[in-house]
């Protein structure tokens, strides 16, 4: 080894550049190999976590629960029916036409074949999928909860979540955000179960059936006295407003609004 | 043919008093956090829960050991002008791989820790061992030195996390140890312990305690 250091001048410019190149190539190869090999398991984990969040929004699981793929499958088979909704008409896609549980809504809204440009909105949504997923939760015969997928632009990236509504298609039962890039300690509190509990019992719509639920600055009243307002996240005004915008968008006329109207009137063929 | 700079020992894999000292000194006497004051930033961020601290510790131990090994193996070929960036490239690659492995195995922990796992790259302790020790020593002692320092870091991280989790939410590793008043118990949780500043207080108290217990740690001035 002593020979190696004297045989060539390690500080020659040509050698320095070659050395840097070789180090970069080796490092890149190591990182790329790891990323490619681990990708399938990461994707499976992400999917499991997403479905777990459907169960959390529905109150069928707790955030701390350690659920395996088999556990989630069992709960889904027992309580959950995934269906697709045509967002424009609000009609349910026939059950046998498509496997709604395997439906990839993000892929659908990025694919020009199955999406269209979104109307102007404050939620940072550029494209709308033609179909969106809805989960019917049945503890007995009748549907007793609806879980809807929502997304929108937060402070640093898109936030993905689920909102669960009572059969009146108005009262919030639960809310989760399972993927976001908000500031740790401030906006990231959107994922906190404590804040998500504040949503329980709030109403989405005013008496004209306009989606008016709003995250305000400060503390909102009780769900009975102040049903359209939710406590703001302190130090996270941008994130709070983003939640307001994306909820109003997805539960409004361009989102699940037409479907929820039909459901409320008993026209949805569940 | 001996290349052990500074000691002149020919053997490479013997575990004698010198090697033991390399491994154990950083645990208390030369602890990276409480004595060298390195890596404090990550210690503040992730010590709210013991499980987070354990995962972070495992990451730092693995990254520090492999980085020191790699740097030591090529130490005589690294051009002086770019040595720090070469060390950083190695460390950053290892951290990225660790982050990917975490995402494939402990997904929910990775969601919470991803931001901080990235910070291992800038953990001065890891770079400090590569530049300060591995650049001038053969692989075996370099790995021992990295392991010792990472264990010293892990020790403090876990002690601080246990203190904060116990006093902040009455739990250890997620299990309720102190029954909370709101669940009908007697312990009123200290909300400050969950917030980052409390890590500074706990580390400060720890440094004070260690210097009182081992007066040799106090700098002479």
Does the structure show a pLDDT above 60 at A11? yes
- Rounded CA separation A134/A270 (Å): 11
Average pLDDT over residues B96-116: 87
CA dihedral A247, A252, A254, A256 (to 10 degrees): 80
Contact criterion met (CB < 8 Å) for A31 and B96: yes
Q: Are residues A103 and A147 in the same domain?
A: yes
User: In this complex, which of A24, A48, A185 lies closest to B89 when CB atoms are compared?
Assistant: A24
User: In this complex, which of B77, B105, B107 lies closest to A10 when CB atoms are compared?
Assistant: B77
* Prediction ipTM score: 0.78
Q: Are residues A73 and A147 in the same domain?
A: yes
Q: Are residues A108 and A199 in the same domain?
A: yes
Strands A214-215, A229-230: pairing is parallel
CA distance A250 to chain B (A): 25
Task: Report if residue A191 sits inside a domain.
Answer: yes
Contact criterion met (CB < 8 Å) for A16 and B115: no
Tokens of A6: 């004297």
C-alpha to C-alpha distances, A55 to A42, A167, A172, A247, B88, nearest whole angstrom: 20, 17, 15, 19, 42
Q: Are residues A193 and A60 in the same domain?
A: yes
Contact criterion met (CB < 8 Å) for B76 and A11: no
Task: Report if residue A241 sits inside a domain.
Answer: yes
For the stretch B132-169, pLDDT in tens is 999 999 999 999 999 999 999 999 999 999 999 888 88
Pairwise pLDDT comparison (A31 vs B185), residue with the higher score: A31
Which one, of A205, A200, A198, A203, lies nearest residue A233 by Cα? A198
- Rounded CA separation B189/B172 (Å): 13
For the stretch B179-197, pLDDT in tens is 887 777 788 888 788 888 8
Task: Report if residue A143 sits inside a domain.
Answer: yes
Average pLDDT over residues A102-120: 90
Residue that the structure tokens 């250091």 belong to: A5
Contact criterion met (CB < 8 Å) for A30 and B93: yes
Query: Residue A114, SS3?
Result: helix
Q: Could you tell me which chain A residue has the CA closest to the CA of B92? A: A27
Task: Report if residue A179 sits inside a domain.
Answer: yes
Q: Are residues A97 and A212 in the same domain?
A: yes
Task: Report if residue A269 sits inside a domain.
Answer: no
User: In this complex, which of A10, A23, A45 lies closest to B89 when CB atoms are compared?
Assistant: A23
Q: Are residues A71 and A110 in the same domain?
A: yes
Contact criterion met (CB < 8 Å) for A49 and B107: yes
Pairwise pLDDT comparison (B124 vs B61), residue with the higher score: B61
Contact criterion met (CB < 8 Å) for A42 and B103: yes
CA distance A196 to chain B (A): 17
List the strands of the sheet with A172-179, edge to edge: A80-86, A131-137, A145-153, A158-165, A172-179
- Extended strands (E) in chain B: 171-172, 175-176
**B166-201 burial, b if ≥16 CB within 10 A, otherwise e?**
bbbbbbbeeeeebeeeeeeeebebeeebeeeebbee
- Rounded CA separation A24/A18 (Å): 10
For the stretch A142-191, pLDDT in tens is 899 999 999 999 998 999 999 999 999 999 999 999 988 887 778 888 88
Q: A172 forms bridges with which residues in the sheet?
A: A165
**Chain A contact present for B16, CB below 8 A:** no
Range of the domain at A26: 2-43
- Residue A8 is predicted with a pLDDT of 66
- Residue B168 is predicted with a pLDDT of 85
Residue A172 · residue A201 · CB < 8 Å: yes
Q: Are residues A16 and A91 in the same domain?
A: no
Does the structure show a pLDDT above 90 at A7? no
Task: Report if residue A76 sits inside a domain.
Answer: yes
Q: Are residues A101 and A16 in the same domain?
A: no
User: In this complex, which of B77, B93, B101 lies closest to A19 when CB atoms are compared?
Assistant: B77
**Chain B contact present for A29, CB below 8 A:** no
Task: Report if residue A99 sits inside a domain.
Answer: yes
Q: Are residues A177 and A236 in the same domain?
A: yes
**A22-45 burial, b if ≥16 CB within 10 A, otherwise e?**
ebeeebeeebeebeeebeeebeeb
**Binning pLDDT at 50, 70 and 90, where does residue B3 land?**
very low
Interface A-B: count of C-beta contacts within 8 A: 71
Task: Report if residue A90 sits inside a domain.
Answer: yes
- Residue B79 is predicted with a pLDDT of 93
Number of domains in chain A: 2
């Amino acid at each position: 080894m002593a020979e190696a250091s004297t045989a060539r001048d390690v500080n020659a410019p040509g050698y320095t550049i070659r050395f840097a190149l070789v180090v970069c190539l080796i490092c890149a190869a190591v990182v790329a190999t790891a990323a490619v090999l681990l990708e399938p398991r990461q994707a499976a984990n992400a999917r499991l976590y997403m479905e777990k969040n459907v169960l959390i929004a529905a109150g069928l699981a707790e955030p701390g629960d350690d659920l395996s793929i088999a556990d989630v499958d069992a709960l889904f088979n027992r309580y959950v029916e995934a269906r697709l909704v045509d967002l424009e008409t609000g009609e349910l896609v026939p059950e046998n036409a498509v496997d709604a549980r395997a439906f990839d809504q993000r892929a659908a809204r990025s694919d020009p074949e199955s999406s269209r440009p979104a109307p102007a909105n404050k939620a940072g949504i550029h494209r709308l999928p033609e179909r969106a997923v809805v989960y019917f939760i049945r503890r007995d015969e009748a549907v007793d909860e609806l879980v809807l997928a929502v997304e929108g632009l937060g402070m640093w990236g898109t936030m993905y979540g689920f909102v669960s509504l009572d059969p009146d298609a108005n009262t919030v039962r639960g809310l989760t955000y399972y993927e976001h890039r908000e500031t740790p300690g401030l906006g990231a509190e959107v994922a906190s179960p404590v804040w998500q509990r504040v949503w329980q019992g709030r109403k989405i719509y005013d008496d004209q059936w306009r989606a008016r639920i709003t995250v305000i600055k400060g503390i909102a009243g009780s769900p009975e006295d102040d049903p359209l307002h939710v406590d703001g996240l302190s130090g996270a005004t941008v994130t709070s407003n983003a939640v307001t915008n994306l909820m109003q968008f997805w539960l409004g006329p361009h989102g699940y609004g037409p479907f929820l109207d039909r459901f409320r009137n008993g026209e949805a063929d569940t | 043919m001996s290349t052990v700079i500074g000691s002149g020992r020919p053997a490479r894999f013997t575990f004698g008093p010198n090697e033991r000292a390399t491994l154990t000194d950083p645990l208390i006497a030369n602890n990276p956090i409480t004595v060298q004051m390195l890596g404090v930033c990550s210690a503040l961020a992730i010590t709210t829960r013991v499980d987070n601290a354990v995962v972070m510790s495992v990451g730092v131990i693995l990254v520090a050991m492999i980085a020191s090994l790699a740097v030591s193996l090529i130490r005589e070929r690294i051009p002086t002008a770019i040595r720090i960036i070469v060390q950083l490239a190695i460390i950053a690659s290892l951290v990225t791989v660790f982050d990917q492995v975490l995402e494939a195995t402990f997904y929910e922990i990775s969601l919470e820790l991803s931001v901080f796992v990235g910070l291992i790259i800038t953990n001065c302790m890891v770079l400090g061992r590569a530049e300060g020790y591995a650049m001038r020593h053969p692989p075996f002692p370099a790995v021992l030195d990295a392991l010792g320092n990472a264990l010293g870091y892990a020790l403090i991280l876990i002690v601080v996390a246990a203190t904060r989790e116990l006093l902040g939410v009455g739990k250890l590793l997620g299990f309720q140890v102190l029954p909370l008043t709101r669940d009908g118990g007697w312990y009123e949780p200290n909300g400050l312990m969950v917030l980052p500043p409390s890590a500074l207080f706990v580390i400060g108290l720890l440094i004070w305690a260690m210097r009182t217990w081992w007066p040799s740690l106090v700098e002479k001035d």
